[in-house]
Every structure is written in structure tokens, then in C-alpha cells.
Structure 1
Amino acid sequence: MNIEIVERPELKAAVLQIPRDGRLVRDAWAQVSARLKHHPGVADREHGYVFIPEWQWSTEVTTLWVGMVVDHFEGLPSELQQITIPAKRYAKLTVRGNRTHMEEAYGALFGWFEQGPYERDVRDGSFGYEMNRLQPVNPFEIPADDIDYFDYDIYAPIKDETEL
């Protein structure tokens, strides 16, 4: 599996925070996309984002933030939370395949960090994210128990050398 190191610009997102559960992810996506359907500030309508609180990896990831990237926070529906992910360096891995492939991809990413020389940024407040392609098939419209093909990019934050 090909893991590359990429620099990503700051992201602003309109999100809903939910417990980690595939059905709730889909419900949250439906709510966010409905509320932002005609909002002019949406910066990316080609992807749906799931933000992962990296600090929870030490025990278990129990919370996710689901949403869309926006240019600005002005005029967003009050029901949506606002998060800003700072510009950062990430380990990027593309997942395209069935559930087994997805699990292998996450295993490969964890192994990659274990081998070094990079350290995953799991400090409080650090977010990784999954950038899900919405075309040709929107994965958020397939029930969590039924989906068996995944097409998204994982962005796992890397600690800067000055933070080690």
C-alpha cells in the first residue's frame, strides 16, 4: 500500500459530532448535506468528510465529526458545529476496495507509523480525517451494514520535527 506524505492547507468544516457508529455517520451526513445543500460557502461538494479525534487512538475512537468543508463560517445553520483543522503534514493513504481491504489499509498505516521515522500526531486537539468521494456512488447513502466498497483517502497527521 502506497503511503505518501502530503502538506494540506487549513480546512474549515461545518460538522455534526456523533458517537462512532456507521448508521449515525450516515444520519449526520444526511443532516449536514441537507442543511448545506444551497449554502454558497461550501468549498467542496465532491467529498464528504469524517474527522477523527487522533487523541482517542490511545484507547478507542468513540467520537467522530461528520461534515463538509466550507470557505467561511458566516451564515452557517446554527445546528452545525464549526471546526478548523490547521495546515499540517499528513500521511495519506487511498482506500479503494472491500471491507477487508479497508481493514488492511488501516493496519498498514499503523505499521508504517510504528516503523518510523514519522510519528503520528495524537495530541489533544489533533484531527485526522477521511475524505470520501461522493461520485460515482455516495457511500453515505449505502447502509453501514450493507456497504462493501470503499473509496476514500485517509489523512493521518504527522508531528512536525519541532514537536517531537
Structure 2
Amino acid sequence: MQETITVDLVEVSSFKALAVRTGMTPDKSGTRFAWSKLAEHVPLDDARLAGKPAAYVFIPQQQWNKQVDTLWVGLEVREFGAVPDGIEKLAINGGLCASARVLGDEAHMWRVYETMFSWLEQSKDYELDQRDGIFGMETVPLEPLNALTIPYKDIETFNFTMLYPVRRKAESR
């Protein structure tokens, strides 16, 4: 059976997030450590939380043209309120995003990344918006299973949506 991976253009609203910064680690434990710290200070019953239960992994988009080394793991909030030490406030710009869905094993996940970046490279109209302060996002559902509580090596099914801000090529000139 042929696997179909599609990249769509979707509009994302701007929002606020409380997040924990982390680095890339060889064993991919950085996001799990950041999630643990975030959940300790911003529990899932926190009145500030907005939207459906999902975590975000935020990627500064200018990193895509070199090496991704800094990420944030966050939760969408209606308001920042009191922010504990080690938690950062992020204002996420809304706008047009290239989006692709990952639901499968690790090999499938890497094929989706490859498809996304091939689409961006080949698009006549759009390019990744790599201006300072622009974050790409990967949304991770927290139900029925929160993958950020499972060691990366133990994940059998990767389940998240890529949302990478794009802009018309003419806008960058």
C-alpha cells in the first residue's frame, strides 16, 4: 500500500504559551525533561490553559538552515499570570503555516519531515518564514497518550502535527 503524505496550508491564530527551554540531546530526552518541569509548574488543571489538551514543541525557524539546537516545550494559555522561575512566556505569531500530520513509526516520521522540507524547497509561491522570533510548532496531543512522558526510544507510534510558518516568496524580497 502506498503511503500518502500531504502538506497543507492552514491559518493559525496567534496565542500565548508558557514554556520551558531545552536543548537537543542525542537521546532526545530534552523535550521529556522540559515537559516534566513544565507540568510540575503548570498542571493540566491550571485555569490559565486554553484550547484542547495538547503540548507544543516550539522551534525557532531560523535554526532550520543550520542546526536545530534549542527548543521550547509549552502549553497554550489565555493569560500568563504569575510565571515561576524556569518557565518562559512566549507570544506566538499567527499566520499561514505549512502543515503535515505524523502518525506512524519513526521511519514514517522522518518521511514526513522529508516531504515537508521537499515541499517547501519546491514551492513556487511559499518559503519557510525564518525571521527572528518566528516559531515553528509541533503539536503533541496529551490524550489518550502523552508521548512526552515516554522515553523517545520506546515510542512505537509518533503522533503530532507540524505547523511551520510560511510566507509568500515575493514578501521576502
TM (norm. structure 2) is 0.89
Contact 1:96/1:150 (<8 A) preserved = yes
Residue type at the aligned position of 1:18: T
The correspondence for 1:147, drawn from 148, 155, 167, is 155
Question: Any stretches of 5+ residues in structure 2 without a counterpart?
Answer: none
Partner SS for 2:171: helix
Q: Which of 1, 6, 13 is the matching residue for 1:9?
A: 13
- SS of corresponding position for 2:47: coil
Q: TM-score when scaled to structure 1?
A: 0.94
1:77 to partner: Cα distance? 2.3
Q: Distance in 1 between matches of 2:29 and 2:37?
A: 13
Structure 1: state its 5+ residue gaps. Answer: none
Q: Is the 8 A contact 2:93 2:134 kept in 1?
A: no
**C-alpha RMSD of matched pairs (Å):** 1.4
Q: Which stretch shows the higher mean deviation, 56-65 or 119-128?
A: 119-128
Q: Which one-letter code corresponds to 1:4 in the other structure?
A: D
Q: Which residue of 2 aligns with 1:105?
A: 112
Q: Which one of the candidate residues 12, 15, 31 is aligned to 1:25?
A: 31
Q: How many angstroms apart in 2 are the aligned matches of 1:90 and 1:145?
A: 29
Aligned to 2:83: 76
Contact residue 105 and residue 156 of structure 2 kept, 8 A: yes
Aligned-pair CA distance for 1:35 = 1.0
Measure the CA separation in 1 of the matches of 2:35 and 2:128.
27
Q: Is the 8 A contact 1:50 1:67 kept in 2?
A: yes
- Partners of 1:107 and 1:52 lie apart in 2 by 17
Spell out structure 1 runs of 4+ moving beyond 4 A: none
2:152 partner SS: coil
Contact 1:45 1:68 in 2 (8 A): no
Do structure 1's residue 46 and structure 2's residue 46 form an aligned pair?
no
Aligned counterpart in structure 2 of residue 162 of structure 1, from 136, 152, 171: 171
Kept in 2, the 8 Å contact 1:10–1:86? The answer is yes
Aligned length: 164
